[in-house]
Amino acid sequence: MNAYGDGDSGRVHRTNRVEAIRVVWPDDLNRRSSLLEGLDRQSDVVWMCELGVEQALRPAGPPVHKQRVALVLASMRHLHRELAESAVALCYHAMDGTNGGASWQEALEADIARLLPRRVLATKPGDIRVEEELRSLCSRLSVQLEVQPDAHFFSGPEDFAAFMEGRTSPFMEAFYRRQRRGFGVLMTESGKPVGGSWNYDKANRRAFPREGPGELPPQPSFPRDRITAEAIALTERLFSDHPGDGASFDLPVIPEQAREGLQDFVERRLHRFGDVQDAMWTGEPFLYHSRLSGPLNLKLLDPREAVSAAETAYRDGAAPLNAAEGFVRQLLGWREFVRGVYFHYMPDYARANALGAWEGLPWLYWSGETGMRCLREVVAGLRHHGYAHHIQRLMVAGLFALLYGVEPSEFNAWHLAMYIDAYDWVSVPNTMGMTLHADGGLVGTKPYCASGKYIARMSNYCRHCRFDSQQSSGEEACPFTTLYWSFLSRHAERFSNNRRMQFQIKNLRRKSDEAMRAIRERENEVRRRAQTGTL
Ligand code: SF4
């Protein structure tokens, strides 16, 4: 098995016994983790492994976006260099093209057999299967295992379990208020939310005027050093047939760059983010979004710093409350909430399919080749950057999958493969729960179903589309609008008692038999075209 750079397994020549192998996962690059801070340089070995990173080498998994692979490799290799420069003993297993098919489990087993550590330490992984595999491996090899809490997050699975006591289902708003109170974020001295309200969601939904967003602040771009350039070149060489484009890679790969990205967001975009965070515009994938989910989920950026920077901007008068609160809600609220849901409800959660959705994912999700301008735009941005902002994900890519009835785990696998910031803990609840309602309403009390009219209202995509968002049947009907009515009709009984769906169900009941017949006819055509790649 090959190793990378000068910190390879060959450096571990010890006469004294290795006390602990400290496993640093590919998505756990937090320099301040208890795993690295508690390191004993005399007796411990830090263990890192690129093999099988992000399913890239798993033949059964969908092909992973090149920028996703390159980002993880470059970020891991930068941490490796830092540790090597500070004389930490390292076992580093690099992906180099000669070890295709080898797994982290095989590499770790061989190193445990060779180094005979007293203990194996790891931060709690963000994928329950990884933790199960680690536990089983250590048990089989009779080596003591300590799985440490992940200090990157404000709260952990045990806090979420405490929150859930006495509840039959999780409720994001209650969790969010608990987090705000518990961590004293955007609170007054008397314990009330600043501004008098907890949530300014309704002040986050403005669309751009007809002429568009105007001049946007430039996106920060992080120059490649030798390590990053090598990681990109390696990815291009090993995964040339994977989606995405390594050439446009400009992502932060070390904590200093991630902090620069945060500062840039707070200074240049946060003040406008609040009003238009749900808006979309052709050719503008980033708008006023922070684009920090990648470095956050690799733990290059501490969410406390990000939350604190947004709160400070508000208190200094540099950002309005709806912007600061919207950003805080994403990090302190939603991000922590979905992680809590993940650990509380897995493994059953990943098998949920409450709406009985069994359709395959249309090929257009990979190729972007479709006449639907909105989806073409989102997939093009994804292929180019491995990124789409939350409304593009939820109300374009996710909405079509919901209405079409894509099998939830297949949609999740696509999400994991295509987005640079997706990991199991964050992807499963977001795709299967929030987006596809496969959990039957645990994370959202109603499905986020809408017709093409929503997209027409929140973007200019429909102006450049060959379909008509207002029409539900006929040749020019918008596939979203057609499928919206058929979705409602398929699930009318299930949602007839859902208070939040009453308006939509009532409108469905107003449709004549003739109108519904025409919609079904058009639906058949939409499905046929989606399956044959001609939609
Ligand atoms: Fe998308 Fe329909 Fe609008 Fe076309 S008309 S951009 S398919 S929502």
Supply the pLDDT for residue 60.
60
Averaged pLDDT score across all residues of the chain:
92
Pairing mode, strands 44-49 and 119-123: unpaired
pLDDT of 524 reads 97
- Ligand 1 atom with minimal separation from the 456 CA: 3
Give the SS3 label for residue 291: coil
Sheet architecture: strand order including 44-49: 90-93, 44-49, 20-23, 119-123, 144-148
Q: What is the pLDDT of residue 6?
A: 37
On the question of pLDDT at 5 being above 50, the answer is: no
Per-residue pLDDT for 9 more than 70? no
For the domain with range 157-217+269-345, which CATH number is right: 2.60.40.10, 1.25.40.80, 1.10.10.10, 3.30.470.20?
A: 1.25.40.80
* pLDDT tens digit sequence for 293-324: 999 999 999 999 999 999 999 999 999 999 99
Give the mean pLDDT of 206-229.
93
Let me know: does 199 contact 176? Beta carbons within 8 Å.
Answer: yes
Q: Which atom of ligand 1 is nearest to the CA of 453?
A: 8
Probe target for ligand 1 pocket from 467, 470, 471, 522, with the most ligand atoms within 8 Å of CB: 467
Structure tokens at 179: 């987090």
Tell me, in angstroms, the distance from the centre of ligand 1 to residue 480's CA. Answer: 7
CB atoms within 10 A of CB 58: 12
CA of 397 to the centre of ligand 1 (A): 12
Mutate to test the pocket of ligand 1, among 364, 402, 468, 480 (most ligand atoms within 8 A of CB): 480
Closest atom of ligand 1 to CA, residue 464? 6
Nearest to 423, CA basis, from 296, 291, 331, 509: 296
Q: What is the mean pLDDT of residues 280-294?
A: 93
What mean pLDDT do residues 85-94 have? Answer: 92
Q: How far apart (Å, rounded) are the C-alpha atoms in residues 28 and 126?
A: 9
Specify the pLDDT at position 14: 52
Strands (E), 221-373: none
Is 56 a residue whose pLDDT tops 90?
Answer: no
Under 8 Å CB-to-CB from 203, ≥6 apart: which residues? 274, 275, 322
Domain boundaries, the chain: 20-148, 157-217+269-345, 364-532
Q: Are 177 and 329 in contact (CB under 8 A)?
A: no
Q: Where residue 432 falls among pLDDT bands split at 50, 70, 90?
A: very high
Q: Which fold has domain 20-148?
A: Rossmann fold (3.40.50)
The pLDDT value recorded for residue 57 is 45
Stretch (H or E) spanning 22: strand 20-23
What would the mean pLDDT of 226-249 be, rounded to a whole number?
91
The fold adopted by the segment(s) 364-532 is DNA Cyclobutane Dipyrimidine Photolyase, subunit A; domain 3 (1.10.579)
pLDDT tens digits for range 339-361: 999 999 999 999 999 999 999 99
pLDDT value of position 3: 42
As a whole number, mean pLDDT of residues 102-123 equals 93
